């Protein structure tokens, strides 16, 4: 993934994400706000396998057509992030990160489920993602949520060099 996101339009009018949830025992998932950019930038720096974007890139990307940027909050602080984008009837998860001290508490799942629900509402048929081949935990996580391996790209990642495992999930409507 590149340091700065590219902008692609789905050709559809932008729909405001209406996700704002907090059930007992479930992390609060909500849409990204511009004032979250500092916290999000600090969060992804804790996750060496996450794509690190600049503060300005998060704000600009979130304003783009087809974009989806979700965060989780715990104790009033940003604790998780999911960045995705839609182009036509396809979507891509570009980044998912959860604070080190909040991992394995369901925040990654809450973000992914919320994103899949939102993409479904946007008439997305298939969601794709790429993950480092060495990130076996992430591969298992996505597989447990119905993503299947669809391909491999040798030498896709840098620092360190690693292959990308391509994964996809069909959404049923």
Of 26, 6, 3, give the one whose Cα is nearest residue 92. Answer: 6
The H-assigned helical ranges of the chain are: 37-45, 55-62, 107-121, 136-144
Q: How many CB atoms lie within 10 A of CB 134?
A: 14
- Separation in Å, CA 29 to CA 12, 32, 164: 24, 9, 28
Q: Which residue in the list 118, 142, 156, 157 is annotated as catalytic?
A: 142
58 is catalytic: no
The candidate with the shortest Cα–Cα distance to 116, out of 50, 52, 172, 60, is 172
Whether 142 sits among the annotated catalytic residues: the reply is yes
Do residues 116 and 127 lie in contact, with contact meaning Cβ atoms separated by under 8 Å? yes
Is residue 110 within 8 Å of residue 27, measured between CB atoms? Answer: yes
Selected catalytic residue, list 118, 130, 133, 156? 130
Under a CB-based contact definition with an 8 Å cutoff, are residues 80 and 42 in contact? no
Indicate which residues carry an active-site annotation: 130, 142
């Amino acid at each position: 993934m590149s340091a700065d996101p590219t902008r692609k339009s789905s050709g559809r009018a932008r729909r405001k994400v209406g996700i704002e949830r907090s059930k007992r025992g479930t992390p609060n998932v909500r849409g990204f706000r511009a004032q979250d950019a500092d916290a999000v930038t600090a969060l992804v720096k804790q996750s060496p396998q996450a794509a690190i974007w600049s503060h300005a890139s998060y704000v600009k990307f979130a304003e783009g057509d087809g974009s989806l940027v979700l965060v989780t909050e715990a104790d009033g602080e940003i604790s998780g992030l999911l960045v995705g984008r839609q182009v036509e009837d396809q979507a891509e998860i570009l980044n998912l990160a959860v604070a080190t001290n909040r991992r394995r508490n369901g925040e990654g799942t809450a973000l992914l489920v919320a994103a899949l629900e939102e993409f479904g509402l946007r008439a997305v048929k298939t969601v794709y993602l790429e993950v480092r081949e060495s990130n076996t935990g992430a591969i298992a996580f996505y597989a447990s949520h119905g993503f299947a391996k669809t391909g491999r790209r040798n030498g896709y990642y840098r620092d360190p060099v690693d292959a990308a495992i391509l994964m996809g999930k069909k959404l049923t409507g």
